[in-house]
Amino acid sequence: MHPPISLIWFFLTAGVSIGLFTFTYFMEFLILFGKNTAMPRQAVIISLVISLILIGLGAIGASFHLGHKMRAWKAIKRFHTSWLSREAVFSGVYGFVLFLYGLAYYFNANPFIQHSLGILTFVLGWLSAFSTAMIYASNKFVLEWNTSLTVLYYLNMYLMLGSSAFLSLTYFYRPEFIPTYLFLTFLFVSLGLAFRIAFNIRQFIIPRPTINEALNLPHNRPIRVLDTGTTTNNYCTEEFYYKKGKDLLGSVLPVAYILTFIVPLFLIVYAWITGNYNYNFFKIAFASLVLGSFLERWCFFVEGNHVQNLFYGLYPEEGYRLRKGYMERKKTVIRL
């Protein structure tokens, strides 16, 4: 699948926004149970402003993959059937309620109102994340995506981004929470690594359809694509088979693994074990996580193989035989 950069941008911005808000509000929520977890007022306001700006930038960025940006509001019409519609509604309302929560917090509104808005923002944020993940997971024609792993992994990535971002806030405002957030970041990054490995292993074992199934022909008939009707690529081959990406995948995926998981894990475990809470470690870990997540999402798209590629002979089972132009002569070997 061709990776839309605007959707990767939305993933990063919404991920940091919802993840950061989750931990910011989590600390506020614990106060209700008599815990001394209140972050200084300035830290909460900074965190809420960052979350609000990021979700706003995410919504603007995501609209760039639409053909008609000015009609984006129409995406709310099919809430009852479309995960994209649900994502649009939930992320929009999340941003709005987050703004209300920010106002309530800033003006010291009644605690009941504050916490009601906080819980509502939390729920809406995660419903938005879930809806985004379901857009991919519910697509049964991209088998790599069509699994609950996609959802679990996606939500965990938000927690990875959020906990590592919140780590920086604790460094400046409540250093005594640094070990807690080091542990949480370690936990979510480790889980992310496990989910990612499982996601990659699964790609080797999923039973895939063949061109015979696509054409509804008997399995014992070898079938070859002779001609796809056009001598060049078309929308279908460019959208569903990104050749340049497939060629680069082998190099990009290891870098994504290193930046998303290995570098942050190394820095966090090092800080955790040595007790050397150097801010640069947290900064680099977060930056590496964001950059790695960008590459990881890019790989996620490129790894997706749409079953419509079967008609073009561009499916893993078919060995990606055809190349751009489709008119290349196959080498004929005659053994006598």
Partner 1 sequence: MAQFALVIDLNTCVGCHACATNCKEWNTQAAFGPLSDFDPYGKEPQGVWYNRIMTYEMGEFPNTQVFHLPKSCLHCQDAPCVPVCPTGASYKREQDGIVLVNYDDCIGCKLCSWSCPYGCREFDEADKVMKKCTLCIDRIYDESLPPEHRKPACVLTCPAKARFFGDIEDPNSEVYRVIKERNGFVLFSDAGTNPGNHYLPRTETKVHVDEHLLKHDNPLFLEVLRRHHVGG
- Rounded distance between C-alpha atoms, residue 20 and residue 185, angstroms: 12
Per CB under 8 A, the list member of 35, 41, 78, 323 interacting with partner 1 is 78
DSSP letters for 242-262: -HHHHHHHHHHHHHHHIIIII
For partner 1, give the closer residue by CB, 41 or 74: 74
Backbone angles phi, psi at 276, to 5 degrees: -90, 90
62 CB-near residues (< 8 Å, 6+ apart):
6, 7, 9, 10
Q: Which of residues 84-123 bind partner 1 (CB under 8 A)?
A: 84-85, 88
Contact call for residues 21 and 52 (beta carbons, < 8 A): no
Residue 306 is given by DSSP the state B
- Rounded distance between C-alpha atoms, residue 32 and residue 115, angstroms: 9
Residues in the chain: 336
The piece of 10-18, 61-69, 98-106, 194-202 that touches partner 1 (CB under 8 A) is: 61-69
Per CB under 8 A, the list member of 207, 222, 250, 319 interacting with partner 1 is 222
- Rounded distance between C-alpha atoms, residue 334 and residue 336, angstroms: 6
Q: Is 311 in the site for partner 1 (CB under 8 A)?
A: yes
Per CB under 8 A, the list member of 20, 98, 104, 142 interacting with partner 1 is 142
Contact call for residues 39 and 26 (beta carbons, < 8 A): no
Q: Is 323 in the site for partner 1 (CB under 8 A)?
A: no
Number of residues that bind partner 1 (CB under 8 A): 56
Per CB under 8 A, the list member of 240, 261, 294, 315 interacting with partner 1 is 240
The piece of 112-120, 140-148, 154-162, 267-275 that touches partner 1 (CB under 8 A) is: 140-148
Q: Is 134 in the site for partner 1 (CB under 8 A)?
A: no
Q: Is 330 in the site for partner 1 (CB under 8 A)?
A: no
Q: Is 227 in the site for partner 1 (CB under 8 A)?
A: yes
Q: Which has the closest alpha carbon to 157: 196, 131, 119, 118?
A: 196
**DSSP SS3 for 292:** helix
For partner 1, give the closer residue by CB, 8 or 104: 8
Q: Is 66 in the site for partner 1 (CB under 8 A)?
A: yes
For partner 1, give the closer residue by CB, 33 or 235: 235
Per CB under 8 A, the list member of 48, 75, 97, 167 interacting with partner 1 is 75
Alpha-carbon distance values, 207 to 74, 122, 140, 210, 317 (Å):
38, 38, 13, 10, 10
Residues that bind partner 1 in the complex, under the rule CB under 8 A = 1, 65-69, 71-72, 74-78, 81-85, 88, 135, 139-142, 209, 213-217, 221-230, 232-236, 239-240, 306-309, 311-312, 334-336
